[in-house]
Amino acid sequence: MPGMSVKPYQEVTFDADGDVDVAQRFRLAQLDVTDLVMFAHGWNNSPSVADALYSSFFSPFPGLLATARDVRLGYAGVVWPSMRFADEPLPDFRPSAVDSLPQQTGLDGATQEALVAFFPGHRETVGRLARLLHEQPESEAAFAEFGVLARSLAEAPPGGLEASFAEDLPEDEQSPPAVLYEDTLAMCRKFTLALDETGAVTKEESAAWSLSFGGGIGTLWKGAKELLRQTTYYAMKRRAGTVGELGLGPLLGQLARSSPQVRVHLVGHSQGARLVAFALRGLPDGARNVKSLTLIQGAFSHYAFASSLPHALHSAGALRAMQHRVDGPVVACYSRHDSALGVMYPLASRLAGDSRSAAGLDKRWWAMGHDGIQSVDQTVGLTLADALLRGIPGSGCVNIDTAAVVRRGGPPSGAHSDICHAELAQVVLAAGRIGR
């Protein structure tokens, strides 16, 4: 592929139902490699954006393997239908750019078109949402209308497959999520507070919001935009599970049959981490070609692999025991500088009406990219320095605190997108025993 930093490289494209491009699948199986690193992006809305990410992330690998013998490393980029808001930082190679991104209440044209592409048949809905964000009426009825419209986008398509892949925890533990069901105005207030915490609200806006807590509500439209953002992420989360289990998992099974000598190393960022993790559920019994799984700032529950939940001992995560389908370690990289997962994710994920504790302090709603894999026996915790110096265990779940490098980014997502570092490339190589 022109412009790609590494070779051999193969793009693998899936649609929303997990169906793969057959020609690309064939070319993937023809790669003459000993090891194959497959990366799934998070919030990208075009193949070109995904390719830029993959080129940047993969670029350190050849140098790191320069002295390795008997290793023929291949690369694959998983492209699946997702989207990002245009005011979010790209998960790429320009960390200095994220600090200067404007934080606007309205919906720019690029984001509107991305929403229309991600939610076909909803152009009028997107247009009305954009007008409300632009006009910012000081009316409870307007906020109520905004909530109904935003949540209509996230409804699973009738007769589609996605509804079965929405939850990381049992339905009685995770549904209904606050972002889809709690009173719209109440959620907008909470998201405005959260934006204030991440620095996405200016001092003037914060002061105006404080005055409006018991009165005017016009200053809460930034919270309304965040409600829309989190609603689309919920739909993206559902789609990531669908593509992982119904698409990538079976593809890996086919690769195990056609190219049994190839060692596969799965990598995922954000919702892409959920995609590659759910691929384990779709991996056919007996397929042992997945040699490592590296989850970078995973935007799904830290209890997904748990055999028993601390707050509900009778319940397990949606990926219970799936780590045993990896013939090597399952590595979760996390950073405290990721405010998308540390602040916004728990607020959106908690149960509607649940006011037992503040969402950010309640570990039931934390994401894997915030503190790693939880409630899995014998999980090993490492700093990034220790992982690179002493190595990574050859099996089981491993948490690596990567805050030393995943640390830059502007509001509201913080360092969620700051992932293109040679140190993270080294983690992938160490997890897969590539070159050793």
Lowest mean pLDDT, pick from 64-73, 195-204, 415-424: 195-204
Confidence of residue 311 (pLDDT cuts 50, 70, 90): confident
Confidence of residue 203 (pLDDT cuts 50, 70, 90): low
Phi/psi at 291 (5° precision): -100, -15
Lowest mean pLDDT, pick from 14-23, 50-59, 131-140, 408-417: 408-417
* The model's pTM: 0.92
pLDDT at 368: 98
∠ CA 195-199-204, rounded to 5°: 90
C-beta atoms surrounding 212 within 10 Å: 16
Is a pLDDT exceeding 60 seen at residue 100?
no
pLDDT at 165: 84
Lowest mean pLDDT, pick from 16-25, 73-82, 162-171, 204-213: 204-213
Instruction: Spell out the residues 6+ positions from residue 35 whose beta carbon is closer than 8 angstroms to its own.
Output: 71, 72, 73, 74, 262, 263, 264, 265, 291, 432, 434
**Per-residue CA distances from 150 to 120, 146, 167, 389 (Å):** 14, 6, 20, 47
pLDDT at 208: 52
Is a pLDDT exceeding 60 seen at residue 210?
no
In angstroms, the CA 9 to CA 76 distance is 5
Tell which CATH architecture fits domain 9-84+236-341+368-431.
Answer: 3-Layer(aba) Sandwich (3.40)
Average pLDDT rounded to a whole number, residues 210-222:
69
My answer on whether omega of the bond before 60 falls inside 30° of 0, hence cis, is no
Q: Where are the domains of the chain?
A: 9-84+236-341+368-431, 99-234
In angstroms, the CA 279 to CA 250 distance is 8
Strands (E), 263-376: 263-269, 290-296, 329-334
CA 183 to chain CA mean position, Å: 26
Is a pLDDT exceeding 90 seen at residue 301?
yes
pLDDT of 274-295, one tens digit each? 999 999 999 999 999 999 999 9
Average pLDDT rounded to a whole number, residues 376-402:
97
Helices (H) and strands (E) in the chain, counts: 18, 8
In angstroms, the CA 226 to CA 151 distance is 12
pLDDT of 121-141, one tens digit each? 999 999 999 999 999 999 999
pLDDT at 436: 73
Average pLDDT over the chain, rounded to whole? 89
What percent of the chain has pLDDT above 70? 89
pLDDT of 355-375, one tens digit each? 655 556 789 999 999 999 999
pLDDT at 161: 67
Tokens of 13: 């494209």
